[in-house]
Chains A and B, each alone.
Chain A
């Protein structure tokens, strides 16, 4: 057990909550513990009504389900349903962005194309002619190519995977039968195959898990991010601040929480437009702050400050200083409405799919985006009027953080060192060991792992060993709050090799000091940016992505989305560390498949490590193995 303690920000927030008499997720977890062993092992099946069936893990009770399903098939089937949940979330988000872009191009939704460079890049990828054409026309072609993916019944490979994914990996996926056509059909097939009396072969089911994860990777993430960049612009390096201290006592604090920039971009726009009303209400300004992934989106594109990661959401409400929290989709705890009720906070749901008792619902859809956004910002100002003058309790912790490291921003920066061959400085430094390797730290923040600062400590162990960390999602919030996205962190935590590289890059970027050692690459959907960077490096080196000295890590897994994202890394041959254990341990064959045998199929394995140092050590050793295989 590492000698670490609760991060100071969490400690301060918990104190605020407890002083005011709120029970928090920690308290609820304590009452919930110990949690059901069958559930943890994945050997509980409630798919049909002869069940629920539970397999005795110690061999004294039932050995199969009532229908005869084996424990391996049971855990594989449950895992597949997890990945369906994750993939459906991202694919749903992607489709929403696609339809918004389509409607914007047809003049039916008040959004403009801001990412012209992305349009041009994608036109090249998809073979769309650009000569003498309007940007919007080119965009319409891209939209039609994407729409085709959602409508086809011809079993031809999906456009976004066949044009965007690297060729060598596609050949492997074809051999394994993992290439997909229409994502919706595959989600349907997976639900069908996992209902009672269908696929009972654990190997077949696990291949379905990989296939579902690929869909998440290329349609859920890549397509979504490509189109978001078209609509809202490609992120550029921006300096921001993170942690609860970004709330301002005398401003209208409007927290945007959720995942979809289609909402939060409009909120930001209307917050600027209604600034005058806020001043008239006695506020210094409207302070839009970001929570969870939509916060990451806003900070990547506009430098908006980051107030809280997922497991802090109820805690920042307990400060009494949030005037409105507006949410869209995913990771919205129902508890938030209950905490908001105790203050003047307007807790506002916007999506028909996310209805929460005691929340105020202001429907938001792209066609009437301006009207709804205005109403939402107005609600925040009204709430400020009611709050004004009442005591608030804002722990004064925050850190600066560099965000906005899209692949384009990184290449742009590297071009200043070598305009001809921008990736060369990275490749050279990987070869000489200054950069020992890369870890993509992704996923959620879990109260089960916050007490020993799992993510922060693991990342510091990696940096000491010259591993560059790329992060997204709530782990990005954690790193930002802990000051890991600053120049000081480079001096303080990095090994000498990595430090030297980051000093040079910082100078090239025109920063005051070195580039931070942890690169904020966006929200959960932006994991495709990490993949894009890896693909670019692999192509430049002429190797497969799985041969790179790179590992993925979800050190505080919470959401099903993290399971399918992890699966998409595995399909690419990138091994993954994960904590807590996925719910497969009750199936010995499936456990062995993921932790050992997958090596033979895609070149990747899964590793569970619950302690930060153990996790970092395993990843460094794994990277060392990859380096040795490359002869560097």
Chain B
């Protein structure tokens, strides 16, 4: 089973490191110092959404039954047969934004400068080298995890089992939780 990205939302501190790392990974130079000098500037494919005091790093879920692929009239939106990642071939994309319309997660951005659909490609160059996707590697809090669904579920099973048997808290309280409780927000 292919690995994909899972989100442990309660860990996110809204630092936006994932956003920067994603843009740098999709730059020509692949370095921050080089990337900020490029025109057009490289674009991120992950967005840290704010909901009151909470934050949620939102990106394409690489759905198994992907409505964007079904909706795409030109075959630009497709699945990589090796990694199972859903990606868009910009040569074929006609900018009709059907994928933007049908994606339940808002995972596709209608890029106004290139008139092409932009989305998470799960960092094929990095994963081919055996590295985690850029956003996962950049996240300092373990919000983003690069695992197979089986591995992720196994971790969750262990955590709930320990909670049931030894009374351990399944998720650790972190700094953001303390801030939220102080703010009394949401």
| Chain A positions near chain B (C-beta within 8 angstroms) | 34, 36-38, 40-41, 54, 56-61, 581, 585-586, 608
Contact = CB atoms under 8 A, between A and B. Distances in A.
Contact of A38 (B16, B35, B43): B16
B32 A37 contact: yes
Dominant secondary structure of chain B at its interface with chain A = helix
A60 B16 contact: no
A586 B16 contact: no
B31 to A, nearest CB: 10
Contacts of A38: 16, 20
A585 B34 CA distance: 10
Contact of B20 (A57, A581, A585, A608): A57
A617 B71 CA distance: 55
B16 A581 contact: no
B20 A37 contact: yes
Contacts of A34: 17, 21, 137-138
A57 B15 CA distance: 14
Contact of A37 (B24, B41, B137): B24
B36 A41 contact: yes
A57 B21 contact: no
A37 B35 CA distance: 11
B35 A58 contact: yes
A57 B19 CA distance: 10
B44 interface: yes
A60 B43 CA distance: 8
22 contacts: A34-B17, A34-B21, A34-B138, A36-B15, A36-B17, A37-B17, A38-B20, A40-B32, A56-B19, A57-B23, A57-B32, A57-B36, A57-B41, A58-B35, A58-B43, A58-B44, A59-B41, A60-B44, A61-B19, A581-B33, A585-B32, A586-B36
Contacts of B138: 34
A60 to B, nearest CB: 7
Given A58-B41, A58-B43, 8 more contacts: A34-B17, A37-B32, A38-B20, A41-B32, A56-B19, A57-B23, A58-B35, A58-B42
Nearest to A34: B138
Interface in B11-31: 15-17, 19-21, 23-24
A38 B138 CA distance: 13
A37 B21 contact: yes
Contact of A58 (B15, B33, B36): B36
A434 B138 CA distance: 50
Interface string B105-134: 000000000000000000000000000000
A38 B32 CA distance: 10
Nearest to A56: B19
Contacts of B43: 58, 60
B175 to A, nearest CB: 14
Contacts of B19: 56, 61
Nearest to A580: B33
Given A34-B17, A34-B21, A37-B21, A585 B33 contact: yes
A596 to B, nearest CB: 14
Give the most central of A38, A56, A57, A608: most B CB within 10 Å: A57
Tell me which of A34, A54, A586 has the highest count of chain B C-beta atoms within 10 A of its own C-beta.
Answer: A34
Contacts of A581: 33
A608 B33 CA distance: 11
Contacts of B24: 37
Interface in B55-95: none
A58 B36 CA distance: 7
B17 to A, nearest CB: 6
A569 B36 CA distance: 28
A585 B36 contact: yes
B17 A58 contact: no
A581 B37 CA distance: 14
A581 B137 CA distance: 22
A585 B137 CA distance: 23
Contact of B16 (A40, A54, A608): A54
Contacts of B16: 38, 54, 61
Contacts of A40: 32
B25 to A, nearest CB: 10
A603 B155 CA distance: 61
Contacts of A58: 23, 35-36, 41-44
A71 B16 CA distance: 17
A60 B33 CA distance: 17
A11 B175 CA distance: 37
Contacts of A60: 43-44
Contacts of A56: 19
A34 B21 CA distance: 8
Contacts of B44: 58, 60
Nearest to A586: B36
Contacts of A57: 20, 23, 32, 35-36, 41
B156 to A, nearest CB: 24
A324 to B, nearest CB: 37
A351 to B, nearest CB: 31
Nearest to B139: A34
A473 to B, nearest CB: 25
- Identify the 7 closest CB pairs spanning chains A and B, nearest first: A37-B20, A58-B41, A57-B36, A58-B23, A34-B138, A37-B32, A59-B41
B121 to A, nearest CB: 17
A29 to B, nearest CB: 13
Contacts of B42: 58
A58 B32 CA distance: 10
A34 B137 CA distance: 7
A492 B137 CA distance: 44
A44 B35 CA distance: 18
A61 B36 CA distance: 14
Contacts of A59: 41
Query: Which of B23, B35, B36 has the most chain A CB atoms closer than 10 A to its own CB?
Result: B36
Nearest to A43: B36
A58 B24 CA distance: 9
B165 to A, nearest CB: 31
Give the one of A36, A40, A586, A608 with max B CB within 10 A: A36
B110 to A, nearest CB: 13
B100 to A, nearest CB: 16
A454 B137 CA distance: 26
A349 B36 CA distance: 43
